[in-house]
Structure 1
Amino acid sequence: MISLGKSLFLVFVFAILGSGSLPAQAAPFKAEVKYAQVGEVKLAYYTRGKGEPMLMIMGYAGSMSLWDPALVEELAKTNLLIMFDNRGIGFSTDTKENQTSIPQMADDAAGLVKALGYKKVNLLAWSMGARIGQQLMIRHPDLIKKGVLCAPDPGGSHSVHMEPSVAATFNNPKLTFLENVELLFTNDPAGKQAAKDSLGRIHSAAQNGSALNDFAVSQETKDRQIIARTKLWSADESNYENLKNIKIPVLVADGRDDLIDRPENSKIIASQIPFAWLAFYDGGHAFLYQQYKKFADTVKVFLEK
């Protein structure tokens, strides 16, 4: 004798078989590169997720493919992520004459937001991208709803610089990828494991198409960005002064052992921006990769307030 529970189960099975199909499963995400004309350059970008739009600005010599997939997956649960290549990086074009500066790249980012038809976006910017992010909030405040600055630097005489030995390595135009990674994570077992895990995720995402295989950076672009983030940024005293005029909510975050953009810089910036949040995490410059879940949870709470 067949029980009621088994009868219902058989009805379900026969219904599925009769329809000739099993319950549909969501197809795996595939990144699709798109382009937007912004002034004289064409910026490459792709989007992922759902929710309010969030513009993500990558740092020095980094393409949109270098965002850690674990962080992207967490953020994409509640945000429509807009990841793009700065001018001259990856799939984006650049001008023949060098126009690269932090303010110029901020204007590029603003132009991308407008080209995509958004009136306002949230912002998440890391490293040199956080310098661009500061300028974006200063120069185009009407475009940004809330901002998250990761490992930022205030510029000018207010910057707390990296140690000379670290600067010599990091600012070397011939810096290898692995040498760069060693500076991003802490030099301890936890940091080394985090670096290995993060690189594995980035490689896998590029291979399976969930992120773009978009890592090319020319030597000329590296040289231009080095000038922008060192000589020009060090001479800019206005950025720090203008931070006090930012009216939108801002979260400033860094790793406690950041060797590149020292944690003291985050304190300086947070104290200058009215009512800014300040958070520190275990890890170095790439704390948001090493502590991606904790960081993403903080961002979620910040954006929901």
Structure 2
Amino acid sequence: MSLSPSACAVPNQFVEVEERRLAYRVIGAGTPLVLCLRFRGTMDDWDPAFLDALASRGFQVYVFDYSGLGWSTGQPTYDPAALAKDAIDLIGALQLGRVVLGGWSIGGIAAQLVLLLAPQLLSHLLLIATTPPGPLVKTGEPLFYQLAARDNDFEDFVSLFFEPASASSREAALRSAERIAQRSEGRCTPVPYAWAAQSLGDGPRNPMFPLQAALDALKQTQTPVLHVGGDHDIVFPVENWYALNRALPTLQLLTLPSSGHGPQSQYPEASAAHIAAFIYGECAADPA
């Protein structure tokens, strides 16, 4: 039996939906898991070790570019409602039925909006290094806004997604950057940082996701929710999820040590194993 291609080698695919073309890739076979991207991300910015680890645990992983970014056509925007629509349209166009929906950073905000707008599409909600709706107990750091608005080198990569004070995290960042660079065919056009910066604002806000209806949906949902975070996330501090863990009936929290805004890139195997246990292990709390 031949092995499935690695995330570094799977081809770009395209689906036409509502006068735009959404680009996507598929890794593995099994339970459909759709992943929404981070700010300034394209399909190339997922660590292939994380995607391959998910595929090895029985997931058919779908990654895609938002409208107008990467290989996708259409009007680019970082309006979370538009990003959520991209996910909804992709799921519908590919006839995936109910999926595990995941989202990293702003992609996690988009995924929470899908839970609000089209809960019938989700079996589970997987959130990675993102923010909950509503008031925050801790805001992000101004450093993120400096780094996210410029062209980034390796040191910026470490500061954004890892823990610069940790030698082991720095080593993990180097390995992750090397893996991300492995793809040679069909790489995406990077998101222009000057354009993306227009969506940022000058610094942290409170709340970052000011939609009461989304918070109400999380408080009322029967859909199992897992948040995977780093213990020093300069963008969306994980402490904000712990402040809600008595209010959200299906929420589970995993915090990984000495890590930042990309915990799944620092711990690809461990993250995938925890996610698989969450999905397949029937470990979601019964809200009744």
In which range does the TM-score fall when normalised by the shorter chain?
0.7 to 0.9
Counterpart-to-counterpart distance in 2, 1:114 and 1:58: 18
Counterpart-to-counterpart distance in 2, 1:99 and 1:203: 26
Residue 103 (structure 1) aligned to one of 64, 70, 81:
81
Contact 1:58–1:126 (Cα < 8 Å) also in 2: yes
Which residue of structure 2 lines up, in the alignment, with residue 92 of structure 1? 72
What number of residue pairs does the alignment pair up?
273
Counterpart-to-counterpart distance in 2, 1:142 and 1:183: 34
Which residue of structure 2 lines up, in the alignment, with residue 184 of structure 1? 161
2:204 matches 1:226: no
Write out aligned runs for 1:1-305 (5 A): 26=3, 28-29=5-6, 30-77=9-56, 78-95=58-75, 100-158=78-136, 160-164=138-142, 166-171=143-148, 173-178=149-154, 179-187=156-164, 188-204=166-182, 206-207=183-184, 209=185, 212-219=186-193, 221-223=195-197, 225-226=199-200, 233-282=208-257, 283-304=259-280, 305=282
Alpha-carbon offset, residue 214 of structure 1: 1.5
| Superposed CA offset, 1:151-201 (max 9, x none) | 12124433631123x243144x22425324422110121111011000001
Counterpart-to-counterpart distance in 2, 1:170 and 1:234: 21
One-letter amino acid of the counterpart of residue 252, structure 1: H
Aligned-residue identity in percent: 25
Moved >4 Å (runs of 4+): 24-29, 229-235
Query: Structure 2: where are the runs of 5+ without partners?
Result: 283-288
One-letter amino acid of the counterpart of residue 280, structure 1: T
| Superposed CA offset, 1:100-151 (max 9, x none) | 4112211110011000011111112111111111111111100011111111
Counterpart-to-counterpart distance in 2, 1:230 and 1:246: 28
Q: What TM-score results when the alignment is normalised by the length of structure 2?
A: 0.85
Alpha-carbon offset, residue 219 of structure 1: 4.4
One-letter amino acid of the counterpart of residue 242, structure 1: A
Counterpart-to-counterpart distance in 1, 2:19 and 2:137: 31
Contact 1:254–1:266 (Cα < 8 Å) also in 2: no
- Structure showing the higher helix proportion among its residues: 1
Contact 1:100–1:224 (Cα < 8 Å) also in 2: no
Q: Give the direction of change, closer, same or farther, for the CA distance of 1:140–1:48 in structure 2 (3 Å limit).
A: same
Q: Give the direction of change, closer, same or farther, for the CA distance of 1:190–1:121 in structure 2 (3 Å limit).
A: same
Alpha-carbon offset, residue 299 of structure 1: 0.6
Contact 1:152–1:266 (Cα < 8 Å) also in 2: no
Alpha-carbon offset, residue 88 of structure 1: 2.4
Counterpart-to-counterpart distance in 2, 1:112 and 1:200: 29
Q: Give the direction of change, closer, same or farther, for the CA distance of 1:53–1:174 in structure 2 (3 Å limit).
A: same
Greater shift, 217-226 or 254-263, is seen at 217-226
Counterpart-to-counterpart distance in 2, 1:38 and 1:225: 25
Alpha-carbon offset, residue 275 of structure 1: 2.2
One-letter amino acid of the counterpart of residue 106, structure 2: M
Q: Give the direction of change, closer, same or farther, for the CA distance of 1:160–1:143 in structure 2 (3 Å limit).
A: same
Q: Give the direction of change, closer, same or farther, for the CA distance of 1:117–1:161 in structure 2 (3 Å limit).
A: same
Counterpart-to-counterpart distance in 2, 1:247 and 1:28: 35
Q: Flag the structure with larger Rg.
A: 1
Q: What TM-score results when the alignment is normalised by the length of structure 1?
A: 0.81
Aligned residue for 2:71, secondary structure, equals coil
| Superposed CA offset, 1:217-237 (max 9, x none) | 13465146436x978955444
| Superposed CA offset, 1:219-271 (max 9, x none) | 465146436x9789554444323321322111112111222210112224544
Query: Structure 1: where are the runs of 5+ without partners?
Result: 1-23
